[in-house]
Structure 1
Amino acid sequence: MKISIISGSHRDPSQSMKVARFIEQRLRDKGLCDQTWLYALANNPLPLWDQGVWDGDEDWTRRLDPLHAELRSSDGFVIVTPEWHGQVPAGLKNFFLLCGATELGHKPALIVSVSSADGGAYPVAELRMSSYKNNRLCYIPEQVIVRHVESVLNEDPAANDPQADPYFRARIDWALGILREYALALRQVRKSGVTESEQFRNGM
Structure 2
Amino acid sequence: MKITIISGSHRPEGQSHKVAAVIQETLLDGICDECAIFSLAGNPLPLWDEGVWDGEEKWTVLLDPIRAELASSDAFVVISPEWHGQVPAGLKNFFLLFGKNELGHKPALIVTVSAGDGGAYPVAELRMSSYKNSRLCYIPEQIIVRNVEKVLNKDAADNDARSDSYYRERISWALNILKSYATALTQVRESGVTETDKFKNGM
Superposition TM-score, scaled by structure 2 size: 0.99
> Which ranges of 4 or more aligned residues in structure 1 deviate by more than 2 Å?
none
1:92 and 1:86 map into 2 onto residues whose CA distance is 14
1:122-152 per-residue CA deviation (whole Å, 9 max, x = no partner) reads 0000000010000100000000000000000
- What residue number does 2:137 align with? 138
- What residue number does 1:13 align with? 13
- What residue number does 2:164 align with? 165
Partner SS, residue 21 of structure 1: helix
Deviation at 1:162, TM superposition (A): 1.3
Residue pairs, 1:144-183, within 5 angstroms? 144-183=143-182
Deviation at 1:198, TM superposition (A): 1.0
* 1:155 partner letter: K
Gaps of 5+ in 2: none
Q: Percent identity?
A: 70
* 1:75 partner letter: D
Partner SS, residue 161 of structure 2: coil
- Does residue 79 of structure 1 match 2:78? yes
- What residue number does 1:93 align with? 92
Deviation at 1:197, TM superposition (A): 1.0
How many pairs does the alignment contain? 203
* 1:41 partner letter: L
1:176 and 1:144 map into 2 onto residues whose CA distance is 10
Partner SS, residue 77 of structure 1: strand
Aligned Cα root-mean-square deviation (Å)? 0.4
- What residue number does 1:57 align with? 56
2:51 and 2:196 map into 1 onto residues whose CA distance is 24
Gaps of 5+ in 1: none
- What residue number does 2:45 align with? 46
- Does residue 23 of structure 1 match 2:30? no
* 1:192 partner letter: S
Partner SS, residue 5 of structure 1: strand
- What residue number does 2:123 align with? 124
1:18-57 per-residue CA deviation (whole Å, 9 max, x = no partner) reads 000100000011x111111101000000000001000000
